[in-house]
A and B are shown apart, each in its own frame.
Chain A
Amino acid sequence: MKYFAHSQREFVYKYVVMRSDVDQFQHMSFANYLRLMFLATDALILGVHEYGLLMNNSRLITSKSNMQFKSQTVFGDNILIKVNSSNLQKDHFSLLFTYIIEESGTLVALGKQSLYFASLNTRTPIPTPSEITPLLESISVNERNLLYRY
């Protein structure tokens, strides 16, 4: 029997901390961790081929974002952002973000976004597009049963 590691399915976004991200102490400033959450969300959703077309008629709205900061990163660190989805409903969903330093495996931050799609014209919530749903389902987890609280 082949030996294997147990792993939940997740989308992984990688970011290298650049000089423009750090302060005078070489630490990445807090605002950048929030920015990375949005970059990871875009990268995830952009993975869907029809996303551009979708955006002609709808927009993705972030109704809530929160982040727990756990440890510092410095210039040159490779940050892996593991993204999972939770609370998948007809017209809204959540994304969970686990930030880890690739070199050391250190937990950097935990983030969560609540999102929904809205009509571009009326700005009212619309059902999550069918193109996005399988993507979200493939990385779905039961948030209440996870190692970390987001």
Chain B
Amino acid sequence: MASKILLVDDEMLVIKSLDRLLKKAGYEVVTVTDATAALKEVKRSDFDLIISDIRMPGKDGVNLIREIRSLLQSEKRQRIPEIFMTGYASEEVGKEAEKLKVAEYIYKPFDLSQFLNLVRKHVKK
């Protein structure tokens, strides 16, 4: 069975591009455009990796990851590796993201093969 990845970004261009890339690489991908929808997905199914934008309207990626971790802990489920993406992050947001010690942190725009290598580092097909 293919590993399942949750992709969270409010930018449709990014969603489309990464969804195509990850599916082509053999992963099962669930895409959502905001943190609320992402939390719903995590509540109802298991994922092997979460890839999230940091800056999104409403709840940002940092708070989303905090809530997901808290949810997984309360339900005694295994922690999921996370990859953060951002176009730009202020020093403050960057520090917040760093404190969370997510698996990877990548700035947009990026090279897709580099991105895929980061994904493969944390989740097998």
Q: Do A and B bind each other?
A: yes
* Mask of A11-51 contacts with B, CB within 8 angstroms, 1/0: 00000000000000000000000000000000000000000
- Which residue on chain B has the smallest CB distance to residue A70? B13
Task: List which B26-63 residues lie within 8 A (CB) of chain A.
Answer: 53-55
**For residue B18, which residues in chain A have a CB less than 8 angstroms away from its CB?**
147
Across the interface, do A145 and B14 meet the contact criterion of CB distance under 8 Å? no
What separation, in Å, do the CA atoms of A139 and B79 have in the docked complex?
A: 37
What separation, in Å, do the CA atoms of A8 and B110 have in the docked complex?
A: 6
Interface residues of B (CB under 8 A from A): 11, 13-14, 17-18, 53-55, 86-89, 94, 98, 101, 104-115, 118
**For residue A84, which residues in chain B have a CB less than 8 angstroms away from its CB?**
109
Interface residues of A (CB under 8 A from B): 3-8, 70, 80, 82, 84, 98, 100, 102, 104-107, 141-142, 145-148
**For residue A145, which residues in chain B have a CB less than 8 angstroms away from its CB?**
111-113
Across the interface, do B87 and A5 meet the contact criterion of CB distance under 8 Å? no
Q: With A106-B87, A148-B13, A148-B17 in contact, do A6 and B114 touch (Cβ < 8 Å)?
A: yes
